[in-house]
Amino acid sequence: MEMEEKVELCFPELLNTSCRKPTLPWSEAVLVNTLLSSFSLITTALNLLVIISVSHFRQLHTPTNILLLSLAVSDFLVGLLLMPAQIFRKSSCWFLGDLLCFLYNCFSFIITSASIGDMVLISVDRYVAICDPLHYPTRITVRRVKLSVCLCWFFSLLYSCVILKDDLKQPRQYDFCYGKCVPFMDYSSKVVDLVITFIAPVTVIVVLYMNVFVVAVSHARAMRSQVTIISHQASVTATRRKSELKAARTLGVLVVVFLICFCPFYCVSLLGDYLMNVSSESYVVNMFFLNSCINPVIYSMFYPWFRKAIRLIITLKILQPGSCETKML
C-alpha cells in the first residue's frame, strides 16, 4: 500500500489506464531540460542562418543549394517544433489534448519524410553531376529542383495523413496508457513506414553514392595523371571537375552523417518494438535531432560562402540596398 501511494499518475481518476508521471529528480530534470532547450535554440538559429543565406543571395540560387535550403527548412522545424515538444513529452504528462498530439505526430512524419526525400534528391543531384556531367546543366535546373522539392514536401504531407489515418479516426488509442502522446499504427502500417521511409530511400542513397564514389575516384586519378595542361579548355574542364568532386565529397559527408544519425531508430524497429524501452527511444530520437544541428556545422566547415554569408548577416550588411547581388562564390 505504501508503494502505491508514492506512485503519481497523470490521470488519477483513470487508475488502471493512466500513465505514471516522469520520476526524474528535480535537479536532473532541470539540467536535462536546460541542455535540450539550448540544443533546440542552437539548431533553430544555425538553420535559420542557412535559410537566410541561400534565400537572400542571388548567386547561391543553384540547384544543389536549393536542395540544401529544403533540408535546412526541415532541420529548422525540428529545432523550432519537434525538439520543444519532445522536451515536454519527456518531462511532463501530455495534457494538450488529442488534436495537438495528432498534429505533433503528423509534423514529425512530415519533417522526417521530407528530410529523407531531400537526401535522396541530393544523392540524385550528385550522381548526375559526377556520372553524367555533360547533361547536368540541362537535366538538373533550378526550376526542376524547385518542383522536385515542392513535390517532396507535398508527398510527405500526403504520406503522413495516410499513415496516421487510424490515429485521427481513433484518438487516444495508445499502446501504453493515457498521458502519453504516441502515434497509433497497426502492424501493416509500421511495415509500410519501414519500407517507405527507411529501406527504399537508404538503398537508393547507398547505390547512388557508391556509383558516385567509383566515378569520383577515377576522375581524381585522371586529374593526378595529367602532367601538363594542353589548352585553356582543358584547364576549365579540370577546374570544373575538381569543383564537382569537392561538392560530392562535402555532400557525401552530409549523407553519411545523416545515415549515422537516422539509422538507429529503424534498426531498433527491425529488431522489434519490445526492445524500444524509454531509454533507447530517447537515445535514437536525440540522435535524429542531433543531425539537424550538425548539418549547418558541416556547411560552415566545407562551404566558404556560408561563412561569408554568416558574417554579412551578423553585421547586418544584408540590409544594405543591392546586398542580394553580393559575390559569394
226 pLDDT tier (thresholds 50, 70, 90): low
176 pLDDT tier (thresholds 50, 70, 90): low
Q: What is the mean pLDDT of residues 54-58?
A: 95
CA atoms within 13 A on the CB side of 272: 2
Q: What is the mean pLDDT of residues 230-241?
A: 52
How far is the first Cα of the chain from the last one, in angstroms, to the nearest whole number?
Answer: 71
pLDDT for residue 67: 95
Phi/psi of residue 276, nearest 5 degrees: -90, 80
Q: What is the mean pLDDT of residues 65-85?
A: 94
Maximum mean pLDDT: which of 220-224, 249-253, 265-269: 249-253
State the DSSP code for 230: -
Which of the residue ranges 116-125, 208-217, 234-243, 275-284 would you say has the lowest mean pLDDT? 234-243
Provide the whole-model pTM.
0.87
pLDDT for residue 96: 82
- CATH class of residue range 27-225+233-323: mainly alpha
Q: Map grid coordinates 530511400 to a residue.
A: 201
Domain parsing of the chain, residue ranges: 27-225+233-323
pLDDT at position 233 over 60: no
- What's at 247, amino acid-wise? A
Helix (H, G, I), strand (E, B) or coil at 20: strand
- What's at 56, amino acid-wise? H
Name the more confident of 174 and 141: 141
pLDDT at position 216 over 80: no
Maximum mean pLDDT: which of 52-66, 180-194, 237-251: 52-66
pLDDT for residue 279: 59
- Quick: pLDDT tens for 108-156: 999 999 999 999 999 999 899 888 888 999 999 999 999 999 999 999 9
Name the more confident of 237 and 40: 40
pLDDT for residue 207: 92
Burial of 236 (0-12, 13-18, 19+ CB in 10 A): exposed
From 280, 285, 268, select the one nearest 86 (Cα to Cα): 285
